[in-house]
Structure 1
């Protein structure tokens, strides 16, 4: 494999994982960020992102001289052959992706990119962005390639080094092949296509996953009403190879840094060409309804009103294995509970900072003390291992709402607690 000189602009989840993993494959990588403090911490080997294996890759890459960190994009691209743009594209007004960071960097690098550089859009961007970046760079010698990422928080390093596929899109086949070659050592299926198709792949995949999650949450609601058990239903479904087991677990709604913004962006993309994408709109609406449904269950658990009720919250991150609060369904549910007057005391193994509308404590048993009800919102293994007899002694009430169907029903039953899940046929009664 040829060793390439690579610049990565942006050191968030995608950028830092991309840089560290490419360095582990033998390439020479310079990662850039505008945050002076973050650059200093990364140079010292301090990784603030909770991501298994990432700190080790950063340390190993620096020790081997293949990975370095600099402040500012211009400093990173001085002798780069390939430049990855791993910049935030948050949801803007009306749900469209905000491309201001991508466009700003493209303009800034126009005059300093080495001759023949390939610019790679790694960020999730709407169809046509590669063309837009090429126009902003405005140089015939610089090709722009789309290489969408498919990294899951909590397993990003593994996903990068063991991908299902690598998608590379460009209107220049030579540039696409040059980028694809960077990943040759991984031995993964590589799908080459035009830039517009590559940009659409990421949105199409994420919207499909969001639809699958909303679907199973709707099935869970239906199971409760007809006396079925969602765990049995999804087990039966998941053995169908056309469906599979993944993304078939009900929860308090989906969130994180990708699905919310990507579903809204897809709706806007469709609108821009005169298509009303009702299926994705319904997916978003179902997700919002799921959060309200969880609140309804908590309200019912404390007697019909949340005003003045003390609620213990277990889990704040949008999923276990991360410290990411972006669009966390746990926070959405907590906000609705607080709006109705509930007093919230929360614990998450990786979230210690204060949050508006609740008290955050550093111990799960402090969160459940004197609680009229306890709500599990993130499926951390630590919560399954709690001493539920002790929890029962500390609580004022007896209901534990498990929105992830994560807890051991027998353990809670023995403790005298009433476990209520999502889509379960029959909640365990308190002893």
Structure 2
């Protein structure tokens, strides 16, 4: 008989796709979430956020018995407790684990000694050891595993089925139980120790954050020198295999990359110099964009109407968490500009045509597909290269003999 699963934090960007995947794999799955609005939306068959193919799969899962609740007492008969709780950094850029620990404490009375507790959230190295000690002190000998998510917002349902799943545990019994669970929804499983898994998640996200910082730093160097960066970018990458992985510039933000890089830095006693440098570069791109627009208006934005195109932290998505668009907005307002915000995936005060008609200038903050073909004949800052008009010249060389 298959285990009964409860996903705590189950109506969010990470928990809901996971819960749907378990349900469609045949597990009796309950989604627990304190957000009653999200719970209602899920029970009605609608994702509370954009997820490709989400509603269709959610409705199929509901037919198989998936349900969402805000009442912790509903999870009293569960065998597997999957915790999906955000792990932000505090104002000092140190890990803030109080939400995770508090949630575990709240559900600990429902955990039995034969239960499996799965941590799905990103964890600071050593946190699993702390959680194990905490459960043992409560008298519970439950099995414990750390199985971090590695999915991209908006594509989680697809990536759960296509990406290898990291599974870690302190003992064979815990690993075996977690493996039996995830082998039903993942194409392969990578076995690690808990601290290896904790580092794997943080280092993977930090690596991506560093890649974006390199591109953004080079962009700012070129543009500050009066050089069209994208001509340089094309020259670097053209028919040069070793440069095909070279990222293009853009705002690197969102709920994961920044804070995971800072968590890794905190773990290494703030000696992760590359990570801190990446943070300064990526966060600084917002100010660079504002200054770039200000120069287009003879160094004065006072009284100008400026359109911010895109509020989400990534393209073709509605997730605005930790988006640098809001940092851009504050920078513009500091210089006395009136800011007109628009995002096709959010509710807007004005439609796009009206925003562009009213605006004196614009900054493309998120390269949504809806913005790709716009013809903006006003001062514009486009760090993404969406509206680039120049190309490098490629001339023929010698002809090889056949």
Q: TM-score, normalised by structure 1?
A: 0.84
Q: How much is the aligned-residue C-alpha RMSD, in angstroms? A: 2.3
Query: Superposition pairs for residues 270-289 of structure 1, below 5 Å?
Result: 270-271=268-269, 276-289=271-284
Structure 2 residue aligned with 1:218: 217
What's the offset of the Cα at 1:75? 2.1
Query: Superposition pairs for residues 31-430 of structure 1, below 5 Å?
Result: 31-65=31-65, 67-76=66-75, 78-138=76-136, 139=139, 141-163=141-163, 165-186=164-185, 188-224=187-223, 225=225, 229-233=231-235, 235-236=237-238, 239-240=241-242, 245=245, 248-251=247-250, 253-271=251-269, 276-352=271-347, 360-386=348-374, 388=375, 391-392=376-377, 398-407=378-387, 409=389
Residue 74 of structure 1 contacts residue 109 of structure 1 at CA under 8 Å; is this kept in 2?
Answer: no
**Residue aligned with 1:101, SS:** helix
**Residue aligned with 1:29, SS:** strand
Q: Deviations over 1:87-126 (max 9, x none)?
A: 1222223112222221112222223213311111101111
- Point out where structure 2 has 5 or more consecutive residues left out of the alignment: 394-402
**Residue aligned with 2:149, SS:** coil
Residue 216 of structure 1 contacts residue 249 of structure 1 at CA under 8 Å; is this kept in 2?
Answer: yes
Distance in 2 separating the partners of 1:206 and 1:189: 21
What's the offset of the Cα at 1:140? 5.1
**CA 1:361–1:302 in structure 2 vs 1: closer, same or farther (change >3 Å)?**
farther
Structure 2 residue aligned with 1:6: 5
Residue 9 of structure 1 contacts residue 73 of structure 1 at CA under 8 Å; is this kept in 2?
Answer: no
Q: Deviations over 1:229-287 (max 9, x none)?
A: 244156349833xx753x71201x2111111211222221111xxx5111111011111
Distance in 1 separating the partners of 2:110 and 2:240: 51
What's the offset of the Cα at 1:14? 0.7
- Point out where structure 1 has 5 or more consecutive residues left out of the alignment: 353-359, 393-397, 411-423, 427-431
- Structure 1 stretches of 4+ with a deviation exceeding 4 A read none
Distance in 1 separating the partners of 2:232 and 2:58: 42
**CA 1:264–1:49 in structure 2 vs 1: closer, same or farther (change >3 Å)?**
same
Q: Deviations over 1:138-163 (max 9, x none)?
A: 24530221111111112122111211
